[in-house]
Structure 1
Amino acid sequence: MVHVIVRHTVDDFARWKPYFDSDAGTRQAAGSQGGMLLRGAGNPNEVVIFFRWDSLENVQEFIHAPALAEVMQQAGVMGMPDFTFLEKVEEFTA
């Protein structure tokens, strides 16, 4: 499993969110195992997403698909998202 942090700015969070929600089935079919959606406390149009993905290969294939670029443009994503790929080392309690 790989963990992915995606960070980008959108022109309007309320307009972007339905696009994100409607893409859940596509993400799941491509290997997403869920995650957490956050946004900036001082800027609600700053979006950060933590994903769990089944493999690095599958997430890279998904993010490079032309269909994703089209959906992001329609949803109002501004600029290129920043992707960070991580491996879990350990969990801790505090």
Structure 2
Amino acid sequence: MTYVLVRHKVKDFNKWEPYFDEHGVVRQATGSKGGKVFRNAENPNEVFILLRWDNLQNAKKFSQLEDLKEVMMKAGVIDKPDVYFVEETEEVEF
């Protein structure tokens, strides 16, 4: 399974979150299978997003959408995101 791991800072998490949620329609239409949002326990305006994708090509295509950049600006993203395309190799449970 292909994942995209993103880290970025936002002005205000509570303002950012509805933009992220609304943009889910675009993510789904381009191959996202869902994911999880985390935030730094010591800085709630630092966001980590882990999204599942149907394939690497669609994940990369989504990351280059002009619409994504516009939504991020409106949502209050204040730094250049760190974006990693990763593949799951193992799940560990205890």
The TM tier, using the shorter chain, reads over 0.9
Give the match for residue 6 of structure 2.
6
Deviation of the 1:86 alpha carbon? 1.0
Task: List alignment gaps of at least 5 residues for structure 2.
Answer: none
TM-score scaled by structure 2?
A: 0.95
Distance in 2 separating the partners of 1:68 and 1:15 = 16
Q: Which amino acid aligns with 1:2?
A: T
SS at match of 2:78: strand
Give the match for residue 77 of structure 1.
77
Task: List alignment gaps of at least 5 residues for structure 1.
Answer: none
Distance in 1 separating the partners of 2:92 and 2:66 = 38
Q: Which amino acid aligns with 1:88?
A: E
TM-score scaled by structure 1?
A: 0.95
Deviation of the 1:93 alpha carbon? 1.6
SS at match of 1:15: helix
4+ residue runs over 4 A deviation: none
Deviation of the 1:92 alpha carbon? 1.7
Range moving further from structure 2, 81-90 or 10-19: 81-90
Range moving further from structure 2, 84-93 or 16-25: 84-93
Alpha carbon RMSD of aligned pairs, Å? 0.9
